[in-house]
C-alpha cells in the first residue's frame, strides 16, 4: 500500500473519531439528536468504506467502495453545514468557536 493511501486512511480514522466526539458534545434535544446521528453515521462511514475498499477483491470493487466513501463525505459536509446555524443553538458548545460564524447577526 502506498504512503498516500496509508495517510488517507489515517486521516479518515482521525476524522471519524472527531465526528463522534463532536456528536457527543451536542446539547441533547430531539432535532439535534437526529442530526448528530446522521452526522455520526456518515462521518464514520467514510473511514469504514475506505477501509473496505483497501480490502477489495477487484479493481471494480475498490472503485465502488471509494465511490460510496465519497458519497458519505458529501453527506457529512451537508450535516456539518446544518450544525453551524446560530450562536447559542444546540451545536454551539461542540463547535470550535474560532471558526464559527454567528449567522444571527
Q: Is residue 85 part of a domain?
A: yes
Q: Is residue 28 part of a domain?
A: yes
Q: Is residue 97 part of a domain?
A: no
Q: Given a cut of 70, is residue 11 above it in pLDDT?
A: yes
Q: Is residue 80 part of a domain?
A: yes
**All cell numbers assigned to 76:** 457529512
**All cell numbers assigned to 41:** 453515521
**What's the confidence (pLDDT) of residue 23?**
86
Q: Given a cut of 50, is residue 100 above it in pLDDT?
A: no
Q: Map residue 28 onto helix, strand or coil.
A: coil
Q: Is residue 104 part of a domain?
A: no
How far is C-alpha 89 from the geometric centre of its chain's CA atoms?
20
**What's the confidence (pLDDT) of residue 95?**
60
Q: Is residue 103 part of a domain?
A: no
Q: Measured between alpha carbons, how far is 52 from 90 in angstroms, rounded to an integer? A: 34
Q: Is residue 32 part of a domain?
A: yes
Residues with Cβ within 8 Å of residue 6, at least 6 apart in sequence: none
**What's the confidence (pLDDT) of residue 39?**
92
Q: Is residue 98 part of a domain?
A: no
pTM: 0.74
CATH number at residue 86: 1.20.1440.60
What is the tally of structural domains in the chain? 1
Q: Domain range spanning residue 78?
A: 3-92
Amino acid at each position: 500500500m502506498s504512503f498516500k493511501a496509508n495517510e488517507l486512511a489515517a486521516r479518515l480514522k482521525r476524522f471519524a473519531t472527531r465526528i463522534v466526539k463532536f456528536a457527543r458534545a451536542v446539547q441533547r434535544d430531539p432535532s439535534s439528536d437526529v442530526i448528530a446521528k446522521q452526522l455520526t453515521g456518515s462521518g464514520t462511514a467514510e473511514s469504514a468504506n475506505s477501509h473496505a475498499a483497501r480490502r477489495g477483491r477487484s479493481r471494480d470493487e475498490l472503485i465502488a467502495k471509494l465511490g460510496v466513501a465519497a458519497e458519505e463525505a458529501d453527506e457529512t459536509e451537508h450535516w456539518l453545514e446544518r450544525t453551524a446555524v446560530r450562536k447559542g443553538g444546540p451545536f454551539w458548545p461542540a463547535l470550535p468557536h474560532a471558526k464559527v460564524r454567528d449567522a444571527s447577526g
